[in-house]
Structure 1
Amino acid sequence: MSEEVGGEPDPERLAALEKRLSQLKKTEEAPKRAADGDLRMADMAWRMVIELVSGLGIGFGIGYGLDAVFGTQPFLMLIFVFLGLAAGVKVMLRSAADLTKAQARAAAAGKEGK
């Protein structure tokens, strides 16, 4: 069959098989890395949405509570909702800047490795 007379496997066929296996492993790893990147980006997007909504919610809660205490029904609630929105946007922009810096560092590390 594919074995030599002495019972040893053919080294050329083994080398070809190892080469094919390594190529298949490389092609399988690439989509996984892309999928991991997509998951990280989706995770970051959800984080930003949660930061924005939590800022709004906290501002609403503080404003509503202060309105109930002082009897100034919509006034403080509106002010604190806008303050909460501003805080949420600020935190969201900081997260986006951190993500951009991390991507720039990864790109620089990738260029140095080549």
Structure 2
Amino acid sequence: MSDDGERERLRRLEEKIARAKGEAKGPTPTGDISQANVAWQMVTELVAGIVIGLGIGLGLDALLGTKPLMLVLFILVGFAAGVRVMMRTAADVQEKQAAKAAEDKRD
């Protein structure tokens, strides 16, 4: 008997927690804010690719003694890698927006 009472109390507590979490979320961010976050993420990815290429190029130039050659080569490779990651991020965002539009259309 007390086991049933405890289960009922636990169920009510879980419902209260779920309601509190739902209310705590509040409104979702607007599309402008999320787009700004995506833009900053893409800029960061591009800069990270260039900086990593710069570091690798400088390191190889120091080891091999080919001053500007490896630096220029790996900056270009880093730029290409950064652009590729940016394009992948853009494709992911586009897929999410298409899925959300399809879901909204169904409702």
Question: TM-score under structure 1 normalisation?
Answer: 0.69
2:83 matched residue in structure 1: 89
Quote the offset at 1:109 in angstroms.
Answer: 0.1
In 1, Cα distance between equivalents of 2:73 and 2:43: 21
Residue 67 of structure 2, aligned match among 73, 76, 79: 73
In 2, Cα distance between equivalents of 1:104 and 1:89: 22
Aligned residues: 82
Q: Which runs of 5+ in 2 are unaligned?
A: 1-25
Question: TM-score under structure 2 normalisation?
Answer: 0.73
Quote the offset at 1:37 in angstroms.
Answer: 1.4
Matched, 1:54 2:48: yes
Matches within 5 A, 1:1-114: 36-113=30-107
Larger Rg: 1
In 1, Cα distance between equivalents of 2:51 and 2:72: 12
In 2, Cα distance between equivalents of 1:89 and 1:56: 10
Q: Which runs of 5+ in 1 are unaligned?
A: 1-28
RMSD: 1.4
| Relative contact order higher in (CA < 8 Å, ≥ 6 apart) | 2
